[in-house]
Homo-oligomer: A and B are copies of this chain.
């Protein structure tokens, strides 16, 4: 059972096409932050801030490997079931620019 304040905060974070698409891409597994930079037509700092919002909402976990940071869905979030359910009902988006499944490493 979610409290109204918490749920509305998470839904607000989910209510953005860029962040929703990011999550959809992480549905398949870990994604390097650099791959998001390639996938979207917005600047690297904008990507970084979207990731931060998802992280602060507790929806993401990160793993540092060398200079790359890999993000993945946080399966221990109380909202993880909600997120996976949403993503399962979300069409896959074909990227506008060239978008590698993941970076070199």
Encoded as 1 (CB less than 8 Å from any B CB) or 0, chain A from 5 to 18 comes to: 10111111111110
One complex includes copies of this chain to the number of 2
A98 interfacial by beta-carbon distance below 8 Å: no
Say yes or no: B17 contacts A8, CB within 8 Å: yes
**Which residue of B has the minimal Cβ distance to A21?**
B4
* Interface of chain A: mostly helix, strand, loop or mixed: helix
Q: For residue A74, give the distance in angstroms from its CB to the closest CB of chain B.
A: 18
**Which residue of B has the minimal Cβ distance to A5?**
B17
Contact check: which of B3, B5, B13, B90 meets A4 at CB < 8 Å? B90
A90 CA / B13 CA spacing, docked (Å): 17
Contact check: which of B2, B14, B19, B93 meets A89 at CB < 8 Å? B2
